[in-house]
Amino acid sequence: MNVSPLQEARYEYTPKLPGMLRNGISEICVNEGEATQSVADQDRIRELFPNTYGKKEITFSKGANTSEAKKQVVGVILSGGQAPGGHNVVSGLYDALKATNSENVLYGFKGGPSGLLEDDYLIFDDEYIDQFRNTGGFDIIGSGRTKLETEEQFEVATEVCRKHGITAIVIIGGDDSNTNAAVLAEYMAAKNTGVQVIGCPKTIDGDLKNDDIEASFGFDTATKTYSELIGNIERDCNSAKKYWHFIKVMGRSASHVALECALETQPNVCLISEEVAEKKMSLSQIADQIADSVVKRAENGLNYGVVIIPEGVVEFVPEFSALISEINEMLAGSKADAFNALPDWDAKYAFISKGLSGESMKVFEILPQPIQQQLFLDRDPHGNVQVSLIESEKLFSALVGARLEERRAAGTYRGKYSPLHHFFGYEGRCAFPSNFDADYCYSLGYNAFMLIQYGYTGYLSKVSNLSRPADEWVAGGMPITKMMNMERRHGEDKPVIRKALVELDGAPFKYFAAHRGEWAEKTCYTFPGAIQYFGPSSVCDITTRTLALEKGM
Amino acid sequence: MNVSPLQEARYEYTPKLPGMLRNGISEICVNEGEATQSVADQDRIRELFPNTYGKKEITFSKGANTSEAKKQVVGVILSGGQAPGGHNVVSGLYDALKATNSENVLYGFKGGPSGLLEDDYLIFDDEYIDQFRNTGGFDIIGSGRTKLETEEQFEVATEVCRKHGITAIVIIGGDDSNTNAAVLAEYMAAKNTGVQVIGCPKTIDGDLKNDDIEASFGFDTATKTYSELIGNIERDCNSAKKYWHFIKVMGRSASHVALECALETQPNVCLISEEVAEKKMSLSQIADQIADSVVKRAENGLNYGVVIIPEGVVEFVPEFSALISEINEMLAGSKADAFNALPDWDAKYAFISKGLSGESMKVFEILPQPIQQQLFLDRDPHGNVQVSLIESEKLFSALVGARLEERRAAGTYRGKYSPLHHFFGYEGRCAFPSNFDADYCYSLGYNAFMLIQYGYTGYLSKVSNLSRPADEWVAGGMPITKMMNMERRHGEDKPVIRKALVELDGAPFKYFAAHRGEWAEKTCYTFPGAIQYFGPSSVCDITTRTLALEKGM
């Protein structure tokens, strides 16, 4: 067997373009809007981007194509973690490029931005690209995490572009990669290299979102995949009636994924990191919140439930962050030697209790022993605690267990509590893109080429009105500098696209907050099931609840 | 939101019946075949089942219904772990029952067999049952693990049946539950209670399979759900190119699930417990087999891969089973007190190394410490090691890591090895049933009622020719005693349905064995994607590769 029946069938799928891109290349004209300003720190950003700042927003519409008829040689790069739909960005880009001029060429740089620096590439043709249409993964050219940000890298990139006669680079990536795309665009313009740079908004985390980007691609498919599994587990839980499932979902710094999954599946509890930070919640407070649901449900004979935990939540708990900082400080450099020389955990524990502040020691004491040991024993090459390795689903289930035993002793809880643990992450990053992501990504790529063809640089491929059917989508571009502000990163002020965290006064969170009391006590589970690619539009073509709520639908 | 869009759409699905059941109740006639014999131990089984042994196989066909026109009151029970499609067995049973006579009544006993003993039930009506059509889960009446096997239980069951005027019981369960159904049928016949008993073959494990049962329901949907996730991870793995994923899949005693997933996704390695037992493989040999794949792939620059591990594999490793027996013996009863009194792990380890035989100590020594500790510290109420809790995916990734370090030291391996771990089980047990399982289960239930209506007892609802389209399926019934033999269970000889393990000379394993060498070295991943309920028949209606291979397709 070479390809699965579904893959075979998905090859036949024709992604839907926004209405104004459906009339053929010769019928796409451009409309320029107002000149733009960055969302903050305008003077500073203008100064840093003298050649690309303040450009106009543009939208495409049906009309005679007035672009210059020159041969285009475009390079495309996939940057960072996989997100469903990446292959469709590439195929949309390729199709527009070839439809414009069959002599145009598309290079794919392999293994992420490093492929551009190392001149490691392939040249796309129909046969190759047809194997990847409407499929998941980034294996079409691979991806990587090299950051394109230094002057030296830009010089190398320029040289590679010159060698191949490349006229434009398309960077498909998250907030950092698009920030770097803007910096590269500015460099290319300043040096008069003749190379344009266009970005495309990717990330399953959903944190690349602002007034101009309604959704980053991949978020729809990834959250639908996790929601399928969470819903299945809810149904199992409601049938077996004997386990509390603690389910961690991917998404390190923002809780959009957890929140969307909660809106799709209505679990008993879902933690939202942004709320934890805003309310400065302690581990004990979080454990109590979950324990409250366990106790209330037990009173009604329901000794089971589902808790969703965003991957990065512990980093948002102030007292836990403080503990981590103290540990990093305590074992920095050669200070670790004395610790490492201690013979056993008891000796190490004594060392720790002497070294930590009273407040941090209180936090440390309530952690289950495997987590305590992990904090001290599994450190990265710089000696820092590897927060991303902390099994927070096990941490919280243990803390809740301890709370419940206290309540049992106090006579306020008589239930049974058997926790199970899950982590969903890798399962969702390379799923076959949903119809939404297949359409959206193909449109982003197609649109990216139209921006190139019309001579724009430093723009993000923008497709909006996404909560409506695809023929009503709006295609265009926005200067990346418009989305930027200055932020402190690694001790330096840098121009960056702001990471979008869950807004506690936004419609998605407010909907969740209005319903979670009922969900915590009763059983309100919903079961989304597997992503459907064929069948009723209500099942196959609807995007996220997050976007629907944001758009007031 | 009350129900998801998919659930709404699935309510509209009309399950497909076998052709001979499609003409309405009045056009279903019965054909009796030959008298049957049990597969082994005929004399002994005949003696144990004097009233139900040796009955004829029956099939249904189109023709005038000649069954007796009496009012039927049927009770249905879900037994054991959840499997997708259980709700459709109930709805098929209900529809046939009501279509035959609207006065007929269907009782659902709640929470498994204990519901019958405790007279805890509901009575189905259209409104209630319509909420569950084509959905996953067993929440329609719940399930449970109480075994119906003692004379006392049978007396209580008889009393409950008499009270409600129940004429038949349908038991939906695995091999043990169907064995018990046969024993209950014999009891009911011997006592002239007028209560018939019919079984339906359920289990995602796939180990209830024989000449008469081509597939147990739920296996199709569960393996498709796991294969979706494994395929997604393979695609991620092939894109990120940096992790070895160790994926454990549910299925305690047989490896059908792992094998089917391997056939669907073509991973680098898949362990098959039955082969491990047959070849008396040691942990080291298994680790070496996986390490061979890691090394070969590393030589080609592929420092990533996917390994599928059946949940119960360690119990099939002879030296590991021997170790477990010794530990259970060493800590039986009060002997545990001396061990428990030891102050720390070092002291405990010394105690262990004195107590174990030399051979078992060698096995113990190579285990990673968390597994060593788990074997001694997490024991069940009887003091036995809880083998099902052993994280075998972590065990094998650690053993492989140790092997690789040896090879690195010997200069025969220069790769990178970063393992990640997953366990897929609960995700698949309550998925929306695939079209296959929705159709098969509805047919099993419909057919079960026809067996009741025609007066049969001690029969299993049998639907066969399943690798063909549903209209070619064959509906009928087989005496459960025909599938039985005598086996030693808990120190007693008992009549049981034989558990079907993976046959090493069967077509599915042989196909796997013929291809695994290539899969181990190259990247031959296939990506099944999510279960599709609508769309091309090649995607939506095909059942497992296991069945196709067994049927020579």
What pLDDT score does B384 carry?
80
* Chain A residue at shortest CA distance from B138: A239
Contact B232 A240 (CB under 8 A): no
What pLDDT score does B171 carry?
98
Contact A6 B136 (CB under 8 A): no
Q: What is the CA radius of gyration of chain A?
A: 25
Size of interface A-B (CB pairs under 8 A): 198
Going B368 to B372 to B377 to B383, the CA torsion angle's sign is positive
Helix axes A369-377, A345-355, angle to 10 degrees: 80
Angle at B513 between CA B509 and CA B517, to 5 degrees: 155
Return the C-alpha torsion angle B84, B85, B90, B94, nearest 10: 160
Instruction: Dig out the tokens for B280 from the structure.
Output: 């008396």
Which amino acid appears at position B508 of this protein? P
Is A205 a residue of the active site? yes
How close is the nearest chain A Cα to the Cα of B435, in Å?
A: 13
B229-278: per-residue pLDDT in tens? 999 999 999 999 999 999 999 988 899 999 999 999 999 999 999 999 99
What pLDDT score does B344 carry?
82
Contact B6 A528 (CB under 8 A): yes
A103-151: per-residue pLDDT in tens? 999 999 999 999 999 999 999 999 999 999 999 999 999 999 999 999 9
Residue A59 predicted with pLDDT over 90: yes
Given B175, B176, B205, B437, the catalytic residue? B205
Q: Which residue, among A3, A4, A79, A424, would best test binding to B if mutated, counting the most B CBs under 10 Å from its CB? A: A4
What pLDDT score does B496 carry?
96
Q: Which residue, among B82, B424, B430, would best test binding to A if mutated, counting the most A CBs under 10 Å from its CB? A: B430
Contact B239 A533 (CB under 8 A): no
How close is the nearest chain B Cα to the Cα of A192, in Å?
A: 35
Residue A252 predicted with pLDDT over 90: no
Return the C-alpha torsion angle B175, B181, B187, B188, nearest 10: -170
What pLDDT score does A551 carry?
93
Q: Which residue, among B2, B3, B6, would best test binding to A if mutated, counting the most A CBs under 10 Å from its CB? A: B6
What pLDDT score does A385 carry?
83
A522 Cβ partners below 8 Å, 6+ apart? none
What pLDDT score does B345 carry?
85
Contact A5 B228 (CB under 8 A): no
Average pLDDT, stretch A354-378? 90
Q: What are phi and psi of B446, to 5 degrees?
A: -60, -45
Q: Which positions in chain A touch B233 (Cβ < 8 Å)?
A: 426-427, 430
Mean pLDDT (10-residue bins), chain B, 553 residues: 93 97 97 96 97 97 93 97 98 98 97 97 98 98 94 97 98 96 98 98 94 96 98 97 96 93 98 97 97 98 98 94 92 84 87 94 92 83 80 96 97 97 97 98 98 98 97 98 93 92 97 98 98 94 94 89
* Chain B residue at shortest CA distance from A2: B526
Of the partner residues A6, A236, A529, the one whose CB lies closest to the CB of residue B4:
A529
Model-wide pTM > 0.95: yes
Contact A238 B139 (CB under 8 A): yes
| Cβ atoms A236, A230 nearer than 8 A | no
Q: Which positions in chain B touch A429 (Cβ < 8 Å)?
A: 232, 236
Q: Which positions in chain A touch B225 (Cβ < 8 Å)?
A: 232, 530
A383-418: per-residue pLDDT in tens? 788 887 889 999 999 999 999 999 999 999 999 999
Contact B527 A6 (CB under 8 A): yes
What pLDDT score does A508 carry?
98
Q: What are phi and psi of B62, to 5 degrees?
A: -75, 130
Of the partner residues B426, B530, B538, the one whose CB lies closest to the CB of residue A530:
B530
Contact A239 B533 (CB under 8 A): no
What pLDDT score does A337 carry?
86
Q: Which positions in chain B touch A536 (Cβ < 8 Å)?
A: 5, 9, 534
What pLDDT score does A374 carry?
86
Given A175, A205, A207, A220, the catalytic residue? A205
How close is the nearest chain B Cα to the Cα of A152, in Å?
A: 26
What pLDDT score does B387 carry?
80
A433-469: per-residue pLDDT in tens? 999 999 999 999 999 999 999 999 999 999 999 999 9
What pLDDT score does B252 carry?
80
| Cβ atoms A69, A205 nearer than 8 A | no
Other beta carbons within 10 angstroms of residue A418's beta carbon come to: 12
Q: In this predicted structure, which of A207-221, A259-273, A331-345 has the lowest mean pLDDT?
A: A331-345
| Cβ atoms B187, B161 nearer than 8 A | no
Average pLDDT, stretch A61-77? 95
Confidence of residue A491 (pLDDT cuts 50, 70, 90): confident
Contact A239 B532 (CB under 8 A): no
* Chain A residue at shortest CA distance from B542: A5
Contact A430 B3 (CB under 8 A): no
How close is the nearest chain A Cα to the Cα of B530, in Å?
A: 6
Question: Three-state SS across B158-207?
Answer: HHHHHHHCCCEEEEEECHHHHHHHHHHHHHHHHCCCCCEEEEEEECCCCC
How close is the nearest chain B Cα to the Cα of A427, in Å?
A: 5
What is the value of ipTM here, to two decimals?
A: 0.96
What pLDDT score does A96 carry?
98
Nearest residue to A364 via CA among A349, A385, A347: A349
